[in-house]
Amino acid sequence: MPDRDTMQALIEEVAALVTSDDDMQTIAGVPVRFYHVWAAQDSEFPYFVSQAALHPDIEDALQVADLRIDVWDEGSDQLRLFAMRGRLIELLHKRTIPAAEFRTACYFAGDFDLSQPEVEVWRRCLSFTVRLYPITEIAAMQAR
């Protein structure tokens, strides 16, 4: 039995993928920060905030996660924000995210601007659909 819950594992694996990416580090110009649900007060820009909802997939009897990642930045324009957005899509779209608990198929579902709390603070919301294939369940199905 793995030590991590499925949702915890998904968030930790995505965070590790994003924060360890050299290209994302170059774009951000600072160490990449990735938070779950909310960022610490007065966090240095840029950063990512993630949220996810897990639900059953009726057709396959497996699970699907709706993963939302907000990209936050500040500045007079959105150039860095859009570069980070592009790299995030490159990292996650059609990506298999390996974890001890599952394998995934991750797909970019869309994005949109969110209202900004103050001038020159930018936030873009990206949505991904993540199909989760639990390793133990797949092994059990293959054994039948």
pLDDT tens digit sequence for 20-47: 999 999 999 999 999 999 998 889 999 9
The pLDDT value recorded for residue 1 is 37
Residues in Cβ contact with 56 at an 8 Å cutoff, skipping those fewer than 6 apart: 62, 63, 64
Q: Which domains does the chain have, with CATH numbers?
A: 6-143 (3.30.2000.30)
Q: Which contiguous run of DSSP H or E holds residue 83?
A: helix 79-92
Residue type, 49: V
- H helices of 2-78, where? 6-19, 22-28
3-state secondary structure of 128: strand
Q: Dig out the tokens for 136 from the structure.
A: 């133990």
CA separation for the pair 96, 106 (Å, rounded) = 6
Say whether pLDDT at 136 is over 60: yes
Residue 3 vs residue 6, higher pLDDT: 6
Question: What's the pLDDT at 60?
Answer: 67
**Which DSSP letter does residue 43 get?**
P
pLDDT in tens, 49-103: 999 998 887 676 678 999 999 999 999 999 999 999 999 999 999 999 888 888 8
Distance CA 51, CA 109 (A): 15
> Residue 128, class by beta-carbon neighbours within 10 Å (0-12 exposed, 13-18 middle, 19+ buried)?
buried
Q: Which of 43-47, 105-109, 114-118, 121-125 has the lowest mean pLDDT?
A: 114-118
Query: Quick one: pLDDT at residue 106?
Result: 95
Name the pTM for this structure.
Answer: 0.87
